[in-house]
Amino acid sequence: MRVLYLGHYKEGTGWAHASIDAILAMDSVGIDVVPRHISLTGVEHDVPKRILELEKKSVKGCEYCIQHLLPHHVVGTDSFKKNVVRFEGETLNIKMQPWAVHLKQADEIWVPNTSSWSTLVDEGILGRKNGVKVVPHPSQMSKFFGESAGMIDMPSIDNTFKFYYIGDLNERKNLTSVIKCFHSEFHRSDNVSLIIKVKKFGQSPSDTVQHVKSITSAVKSRLRIYRKEEYYKPELIIADDLPEDGIKSIHQYGDCFVCPSHGEAWSIPSFEAMAYGKTPICSNFGGPVDFIDPDNKSTGTLVGGQLAICDCPDAAFPEILTGRELWFNPSEVEIKKAMRYYYENRYKIDRQAGIKRAKQFSYESVGKKIEEFLNA
């Protein structure tokens, strides 16, 4: 079985991360995978050495094609036994996106979560139920073990219970609610802190720090709990680009991950937080629903909310995340309640429960599923 895998895997984004892991998962079970990078920005980020080795293979003889691309880059073809499109959707009403027409060129559409599967099937994007399959995001289990990466030095908050966020700075990620819930729930007597690891495409780290500071100041101004900003609990902002060990060190240093976004195809930082035993607090919508066990708070918490009209002024592409789509508005009351729960019950959490759950999504497990679907 030889598979041509097209992806934006050198872009340094979450989408790129997902492509890299999928390629390595296939390689781990002996699938003869031939990756080819499709550039979006012209800037190439480092990728694992194994990816570069696989790139040396010829595309000649490839029987299957997987296009893990933004949909407007997808092409229809009859040159393979199967032309598969890997789609990372974050909203409902996908049929209202201009991208929907590109998805219809596929023989099969693979999505990372059951919410997206239901959406594509209900909306009849391919016209047949068996053309849409769930292939979860795979992860390399070995990185969750071993010694601390030791790259984070924040002595001022060492002895606090550390809530933390890792993600992009955009409306969909809902960072404002994280900041608001943190400062609304915790008081000066609570021994807590908030770490914000954030990046914004096209913005320098220093400008991003100032951007986040303006958000935190605005939140505190509206909350009006204290007269002076310095009376609020501390938040530490990291906007520098970090290597994988740097992200690992934040996960290891933090205590509870918070990412109640409006929509996630998977949410790699939330999954990794779970695997590190850091009890992610996520929206009950999209990717996290497939990996957090709602009956075991040691794997995390899914907060409720309601569907709402998508309202995203800073979408990366103007044709998506428009008002014709629906996303999820998580309940800030439930976010606060979950944050309080993990702070008060920090010594009762089974930190091994997350990695046990994560093993279901190992390279080998997902790689075998991919092989099964290609052979079907």
Same domain, residue pair 299 and 161: yes
Percent helix, percent strand, percent coil in the chain, to nearest 5: 40, 20, 40
Same domain, residue pair 150 and 136: no
| CA nearest neighbour of 133 among 162, 165, 163, 111 | 111
Same domain, residue pair 292 and 246: yes
Mean local confidence (pLDDT), 48-68: 97
pLDDT of residue 87: 94
Domain of residue 265 covers 142-360
pLDDT band at 154 (very low <50, low <70, confident <90, very high): confident
Same domain, residue pair 294 and 320: yes
Specify the pTM: 0.94
Task: Give the separation between CA 308 and CA 372, rounded to whole angstroms.
Answer: 37
Higher confidence at residue 156 or residue 271? 271
| CA nearest neighbour of 374 among 33, 121, 141 | 33
| CA nearest neighbour of 86 among 160, 31, 35, 44 | 35
Is the model's pLDDT at 277 over the cut of 80? Answer: yes
Task: Give the separation between CA 61 and CA 116, rounded to whole angstroms.
Answer: 32
Helix (H) or strand (E) holding 25: helix 14-28
Is the model's pLDDT at 147 over the cut of 80? Answer: no
pLDDT band at 137 (very low <50, low <70, confident <90, very high): very high
Same domain, residue pair 254 and 320: yes
Same domain, residue pair 347 and 367: no
Quick count: other Cβ atoms within 10 Å of Cβ 100? 16
pLDDT of residue 149: 65
Angle at 290 between CA 14 and CA 365, to 5 degrees: 80
Same domain, residue pair 284 and 136: no
Same domain, residue pair 206 and 286: yes
CATH number for position 121: 3.40.50.2000
Quick count: other Cβ atoms within 10 Å of Cβ 9? 28
Same domain, residue pair 305 and 156: yes
Same domain, residue pair 130 and 203: no
Same domain, residue pair 43 and 135: yes
Residue range 297-345, pLDDT digits in tens: 999 999 999 999 998 887 777 788 889 999 999 999 999 999 999 999 9
Least confident of 18-22, 122-126, 135-139, 269-273: 122-126
Higher confidence at residue 16 or residue 97? 16
pLDDT of residue 38: 96
Tally the domains of the chain. Answer: 2
Same domain, residue pair 61 and 164: no
